[in-house]
Amino acid sequence: MPGLYVPAELSRRVSPLPDWSETVDRAQKEKVVEELGQIFESSGVVVVAHYTGITVAEMQSLRAMAREAGGSVRIAKNRLAKIALEGKPCASMAPLLTGMTVLTYSEDPVAAAKVAEDFAKANKKFEILGGAMGETALDRAGVEAVSKMPSREELIASIVGCIGAPASNIAGAIGAPASNIASILSTIEDKAAA
């Protein structure tokens, strides 16, 4: 300001105060890297997609779909995600982390891929790039193929159905009237005699 007198003692350059935000910021980044590392280690599948142009409401819809399927959605800085990927089984997906990326992941090796595919069909701004299933890198077609596989719950239901079928047949035969059992036994005897 013109005409403002500043004494010489005050006009000397004062050493700046320590920047506490840098240490807090670094601690936060380390925490994010650690969280991402846990995600990459424990997830059965991780899908990487671009989300440019997605509204907040659409992103909330994606998060709700993932939560319902037993998965999660995470947006993280690509640089931090690449650091977290170092030494992890899914490190092969690091080249996919460019631009505005979002991670959809789940412990179930199929759930996150199904959620991402379903969301991509309804929202053209959501562009699936690829991902990883353990050590196996997935391209766009690979994510689509994984999404068509039966989920863990579907597989368990089909196995239980296969195991339960013979037991239900035996229970049905035991519960049948005695005349039906007698006719079955006589048929078996006739075949054995012939």
Question: So what's the pLDDT on residue 91?
Answer: 87
H/E segment holding residue 134: none
How many Cβ atoms from other residues are within 10 Å of residue 108's Cβ? 18
Tokens of 57: 């409401």
30-149: in CATH 3.30.70.1730: yes
79 Cα distance to chain centroid: 20
Three-state secondary structure of 98-162 = CCCEEEEEECCCCHHHHHHHHHHHHCCCCEEEEEEECCEEECHHHHHHHHCCCCHHHHHHHHHHH
- Give the C-alpha separation, 164 to 157, whole Å: 10
Question: So what's the pLDDT on residue 90?
Answer: 87
Question: So what's the pLDDT on residue 148?
Answer: 87
H/E segment holding residue 72: strand 71-74
Q: Token match 């412990």: residue?
A: 107
pTM comes to 0.66
Tokens of 141: 């077609």
How many Cβ atoms from other residues are within 10 Å of residue 91's Cβ? 15
Tokens of 83: 């650091």
Question: So what's the pLDDT on residue 109?
Answer: 84
pLDDT in tens, the chain (194 residues): 556 665 555 555 555 555 545 565 888 888 988 999 898 888 889 999 999 999 999 999 999 999 998 899 999 899 999 999 998 888 889 999 999 999 999 988 889 999 999 999 999 999 999 999 888 888 999 999 888 887 767 667 777 776 765 655 555 555 555 555 566 667 777 777 76
Domain boundaries, the chain: 30-149, 153-193
Contact 42, 108 (CB under 8 A): no
Question: So what's the pLDDT on residue 160?
Answer: 73
Contact 97, 81 (CB under 8 A): yes
